[in-house]
A and B are shown apart, each in its own frame.
Chain A
Amino acid sequence: MKLNIKELERKAYVLRKNVINMIGIGHRGHYGGALSSAEIMTALYFYKMNHRPDNPKWEDRDRFVLSKGHSCPILYSALAESGYFNMEHLKTFKDLNSILQGHPDVLKTPGVEANTGSLGQGLSIGLGMALGLRLDKRDSKVYVIMGDGEMGEGQIWEAGIVAAHYKLNNLVAFLDHNKIQAMGFTKDRINVGSLAEKWKAFGWHTVEIDGNNMEEVVKVLDDADYITDKPVMVIAHTLKGKGISFTENTPAFHNNLMTEIQFEQALFEINQKIEA
């Protein structure tokens, strides 16, 4: 049963709450990019994708690849909420022998579709999946989330050329454009220029949205079904660290730890959004 917009908006904050609890007090974690992509992840797992958490290898499922693998806390949160594994596992994130690695691992985590972590490779992996699914004449789609800092990887642009060449209309990529990378604001580190113009020039159907606005995310996902001759690139303008006052738009929280006070404050703010 698909959730409505209000329910989806609330769910995005439930996923955020899981991220905060998963990383916990005094442990480092990639908060920023996990929190910025919560709406996109929620819309994918609880609105758009055909998938069966009780049968993760169901052949007709839609695929999801988290190219920016460091944002995996939000993926694990979505997988647990979907029922791929028990919520109890979230507490074991990055523990020795945990099924939840610091970056996604297909051999360890039910529901993870590709090993990522070395940036720039997920779009190509999604491209390969899209070719394979098309060869099998399946209607399944492949969804990929990339980061904006990740646009510095040359392989992204190789995939951009090849996916357009093959007119892969079953490939939908989100660019989580939160404007911050590990060492600071993207425009200051290496200014990547207009991403929308670049992807249009590469032959992709390119759309810009507010990636933290659930209505816009849901609409762009539905609209993508009607693009028949091109892969789709959604430039999703988001707020890094979205949802918690002291992590929002803060480069330090790309990868950081929370003190006990910060942890309580974060949960308090998130709970307010969930209960609203």
Chain B
Amino acid sequence: MNTIHNPREEYGKQLLTMCHANKNIVVLDADLCKSTMTCKVEEELPEQYFEMGIGEQNMMSVAAGLSLTGKIPFVNSFAIFLTSRAFDQIRQAICNASLNVRIIGSSSGLSDFGDGSSHQTVEDMAIMRALPNMTVIAPCDGIETRKATQAMVDYKGPVYMRTSRNDMQDLTTEESPFEIGEVYPLIKGTDITVFACGIMVSKAVEASKVLAKEGISVAVVNVPTIKPMKRDKIIALSRETSAVVTAEEHNIFGGLGAAIAEALREEKIQIGFVGIKDTFGVSSNEAEPLLEYYGITVEAIIAKVKAIINLK
């Protein structure tokens, strides 16, 4: 059964539920609440919602101040405006002091297909991952987005989660476990292991099914937490097949692929990257053609898997 959820809607619903349950949660937004879906909190619990206007830098430091008074701030805008424009504020006051600020980057990756490069993030995971104390999450579907949102309430230290604007096919169920920092093998395989995050997990699963028909056994691992990464587990899963491909809707530099390669730095394992090849985004009137344009597709994963297996 194929079911679909929209991650930003799931996030908004979960956030509202949490705000009802925990009065220490506060929500900040910079004039995009109907896009980030924090509007539900503004409508029902206005005392826990703070409109910050179009000023992301101030918003980020305000979140630091709220955290310093014991609140759990969820900071919202498009991923690009939070991670790039307010980078210094995240670094200086939040990560330096390891504050419990939750930064939710909406419309991340290429998911805001129409708005083009200025609104798309190819680098958010890379720059957030470089910050000491920061945790970086990229959920694979709407259900996991909801669970990750819940998991970060009591989590210690700053968290960045990138969320997708568009519907995502369910890969996990209500019963699937979720823990920040954990990795989840979805499909077993013996020839190669594909580590994927975000929208690329479902594409990896699809690629695995296609390749199975050709006699190639592909393991698929969902890596919702890019940092911290369980190195031992990544190594163990990689050794099972001795070949690795990573797949992400992000620059091939600095994101999931880089994190996996770093984890495997002492292993003799071939590794290939599927991702955006160090270039900025561009406008498209539809989501899928944009992913094809950048070569982050099921076909791209299949081709990379075959190329890496040939090197074994």
Contacts and interface: CB of A to CB of B under 8 A. Distances in A.
B65 interface: yes
Interface centre among A113, A118, A121, A130 (most CB of B within 10 A): A121
Contacts of B89: 121, 124, 155
B68 interface: yes
A133 B26 CA distance: 13
Which range holds the interface residue count of chain A?
Answer: 35 or more
A21 to B, nearest CB: 27
A132 B65 contact: yes
Interface in B225-255: none
Given A107-B98, A118-B88, A125-B93, A154 B57 contact: yes
A113 B58 CA distance: 18
Given A124-B65, A128-B65, A162 B26 contact: no
B62 interface: yes
Interface in A117-150: 117-118, 120-122, 124-133, 135-136
Contacts of A120: 57
A255 interface: no
A28 B2 CA distance: 65
B96 interface: yes
B4 to A, nearest CB: 37
Contacts of A118: 88, 91-92
B70 interface: yes
A36 interface: no
Contacts of B53: 158, 161-162, 165
Given A118-B92, A132-B71, A155 B66 contact: no
A181 interface: no
Contacts of A130: 65
A213 interface: no
B92 A117 contact: yes
B61 A155 contact: yes
A185 B52 CA distance: 34
B280 interface: no
Interface string A245-276: 00000000000000000000000000000000
Contacts of B58: 124, 127, 155, 158-159, 162
B97 A105 contact: yes
A131 B92 contact: no
Given A107-B97, A135-B71, A128 B61 contact: yes
Contacts of B93: 114-116, 121, 125
Contacts of B96: 105, 107, 115
Interface centre among A121, A128, A132, A166 (most CB of B within 10 A): A128
Interface string B54-96: 0101101111111111110100000000000000110111001
Contacts of A107: 96-98
Nearest to B57: A155
Contacts of A227: none
Contacts of A132: 26, 65-66, 68-71
B178 interface: no
Interface residues of B, number: 29
B278 interface: no
A127 B92 contact: no
Interface in B23-39: 26
Given A115-B96, A132-B70, A125 B57 contact: no
Contact of B68 (A117, A125, A155, A162): A125
A127 to B, nearest CB: 5
A120 B47 CA distance: 27
A3 interface: no
B98 A127 contact: no
Contact of B69 (A116, A129, A159, A166): A129
A131 B68 CA distance: 11
A106 interface: yes
A128 B92 contact: no
A90 to B, nearest CB: 22
A128 B66 contact: yes
B87 to A, nearest CB: 11
B294 interface: no
Contact of A125 (B50, B65, B70, B91): B65
A105 B133 CA distance: 15
Nearest 4 CB-CB pairings of A with B: A128-B65, A132-B69, A124-B61, A158-B58
Interface of A: 59, 63, 65, 105-107, 113-118, 120-122, 124-133, 135-136, 154-155, 158-159, 161-162, 165-166
Interface of B: 26, 47, 50, 52-53, 55, 57-58, 60-71, 73, 88-89, 91-93, 96-98
Given A128-B73, A130-B65, A131-B66, 5 more contacts: A121-B89, A127-B61, A128-B67, A132-B71, A159-B58
22 contacts: A63-B68, A65-B65, A105-B96, A107-B96, A107-B97, A113-B68, A114-B64, A115-B97, A116-B92, A124-B57, A124-B58, A124-B60, A125-B62, A127-B62, A127-B65, A128-B63, A128-B73, A129-B65, A158-B55, A158-B58, A159-B58, A159-B62
